[in-house]
Amino acid sequence: MAVHPIDYRYGSDEMRMVFEEERRLQRLLDVEAALARAHARVGNIPQEDAEAISRNAVTGRVKLTRVKEIEAETLHDLMAVVKALAEACGSSGRFVHLGATSYDIIDTANALQFKEALQIVKQDLFEIEGELLRLAEENMEVVAVGRTHGQHALPITYGLKFAIWAREVRRHLNRLKEGEKRFYVGKMSGAVGTQASFGDKGPMIQEIVMEELGLAPAMVSSQIVQRDRYAELIGLLALICSSMEKFAKEVRNLMRTEIGEVSEGYVEESQVGSSTMPHKRNPINAEKVCGLSRVVRAHLMVALENVPLEHERDLTNSSAERAIIAESFILTDEILKTMKRILKGLLLYPEQIKRNLRLTRGLNMAESVMMRLAEKGMDRQEAHELLRRLSIKAVSEDVGLASVLSEDETVKRYLSADEIRAALEPENYLGTAIEQVRQVLRISREERSR
């Protein structure tokens, strides 16, 4: 019976499969098999015994049900795996888990899961970047009002907005790539990190195991791989989710009835917005992204609390990690795939964008006029104060900025009627916005092709 929403509501089958019980068991068995082969290579155990362990280290022979039966008796999850594997290996079972401590196996298996799960995250980010670059190009010259503090500011283009987001996603891809050398790390160092149980062949055994599994060996460790690595990993997921929330929140705000510049896609034939208000079209996908992002960020605090364990380690991280690792990845997966759907189906409403751009009747162009006055020789501070007073006058008299500008003798000394009109046109005050988008498109496509 499913209890947690990630069992039936959130996350793709692909990501859930990475953390599914039997898949997890197989990863633990993979590490045990690699350890046996390493022992054989350094001459600690016979080759035929290593082959027998490797042959039986599969979930088809080591059943999850049997592991759970043993765990019910031993109250130790990894020892249950060891015993079940030893049973399956017959006489070769005496060499299973030789010299290892539980977290040699667990942390190395964790790294294998991280590697698999982050490939999914990486692909989703790559596709989201692609969607944002498409939107940036398609809307490169769509002029809209920019907003600061929730108030109309200066003109911007939707292309620039999407280009900014695209570069944020690229930074996450770069962070992920750079972090792999710290995330994909395993160990074979024994109960307190001394490798005493492996004798003088400990470094060689660790090197062989990690080479076989495609991981880097921890240079030094205690009973565990140090949890600053895990905190950084969960931190990266939280940061990615925060960016997705940022994008989703912008969609939600721009979708407000009073703004109405964009909208999530909507299935008109069947989608229901409200159980009582038939007219509603709610930003349900963007709201889901924002809500789930809070959960992933909350897991970061737990990951940080797991860093300062006592002495060579205590067990307080174990139970917490059972919850936060899988859940963080699965919810991140849901967030990324939802954001991908939002961007693919995103609707822009050009006429409403134009109406909002001119809603303040020129007040959002006050800086443009101020800069024109400064260019014509007026003191910049005086020009700022003049435009501040004229803006207040336009609001109090309920007229457009053009009206008060055309009547002001100081303005008319510096600017002609045509120059005032030109200064009030949003399309004339975009700076390098379009050129910046073109640069983002060029550089991003070069990076994506590498």
The catalytic residue positions are 149, 274
d(CA 135, CA 145): 17
Structural Rg of the chain based on CA atoms? 30
Q: What three-state secondary structure class fits 321?
A: helix
CA of residue 143 relative to chain centroid, distance: 29
CA of residue 414 relative to chain centroid, distance: 51
Q: Is the dihedral of CA 75, 78, 80, 82 positive or negative?
A: negative
d(CA 137, CA 157): 11
Distances (CA, A) of 110 to 103, 129, 430: 10, 28, 49
d(CA 306, CA 374): 57
Nearest one of 274, 307, 344 to 124, comparing CA atoms: 344
Contacts of 181 (CB under 8 A, 6+ apart): 216
d(CA 202, CA 44): 11
Supply the DSSP symbol for 94: G
Q: Which parts of 255-379 fold into alpha helices (H)?
A: 284-305, 316-345, 350-357, 366-375
CA of residue 184 relative to chain centroid, distance: 18
Containing H/E element for 426? none
Is residue 151 within 8 Å of 118, Cβ to Cβ? Answer: no
Q: What three-state secondary structure class fits 145?
A: strand
Assigned token pair, 362: 């020129």
